[in-house]
Amino acid sequence: MTAPGSGAEAEERALMALPYEAPSGTVAYGEHPSQVVDLYRPAGAAGPCEVRVTLLHGGFWREVYDRRHLAPLAAALAGPGVEVVLAEYRRVGGGGGLPATFEDVARVTALPGAPARHILVGHSAGGHLALWAASAAPGSVTEVVAVAPVADLGRARALGLGAGAVTALLGPADHPEADPARLTPPRVPVTLLHGTADPDVPLSLSGAYVSAVRGAGGGVVLRALRGVGHFAAVTPGTGACGELRRVLGV
């Protein structure tokens, strides 16, 4: 996903080298093998938690990338009063694309049992889906945090990001209903975290989304992470991930 030999490649290696963290359990929300969520709950927790964090992973919406690389983050975020739901969804090459991928995200945001505070966090392509949900299908979500999101599909397609990933997701036609930058302003508070040195998804995409939302009268916060690439903010133990945790308050 990242140019060989770059600092951003080192970020990716650092994330992928972390040991897998097994969930407390896995629950299906549909019949397809990808329609599952992994649950990470604080040790010894028996009753409901005060906060739910739902994670949507990235990988340019493609089947080859799954939720396992965010398992260390899910385990790190789970703690006293905080449950984490690491979501899988149908992806391009495995039954996904428009509309299936979006249908799955809508179902994930509406899973039962959510506490009063439900934060939807998405990384990269998962960040795009989180921003889409903020406007189109928030379910029980009360706030959204998008990390290095593909926030403007029109620009992403024009730039050819992910070797044509937007066209693979949507097909050749224009689908403004799938593009957060062209939807109505989000219905819940939104914060974006984006590295200034991200080679995979340029910071300019988040800037375009913020301009579009504010131009339509909506509110959104963008926090630029100086010198950070594409993966550090979702890698436990990094300063950028510490910033994510501060935004989440967990």
AA identity, residue 164: G
CB 241 within 8 A of CB 229: no
Please report, for the domain that includes residue 52, its CATH number. Answer: 3.40.50.1820
Residue 250 lies in a domain: no
Residue 1 lies in a domain: no
DSSP H or E stretch at residue 105: helix 100-109
Residue 36 lies in a domain: yes
Q: How many domains does the chain have?
A: 1
pLDDT by residue (tens digit) across 188-238?
A: 999 999 999 999 999 999 999 999 999 999 999 999 999 999 999 999 999
**Cα separation of 22 and 98, whole Å?**
30
pLDDT at 186 over 90: yes
Note down the domain range covering 148.
7-243
pLDDT of residue 154: 97
pLDDT at 7 over 70: no
pLDDT at 173 over 50: yes
**Cα separation of 57 and 146, whole Å?**
11
End-to-end C-alpha distance for the chain, whole angstroms = 29
pLDDT of residue 3: 47
**Residue 117, strand partner residues:** 51
Average pLDDT of the residues of the chain: 95
Residue 154 lies in a domain: yes
Alpha helices in 110-224 (DSSP H): 125-136, 153-159, 161-170, 203-215
pLDDT at 185 over 60: yes
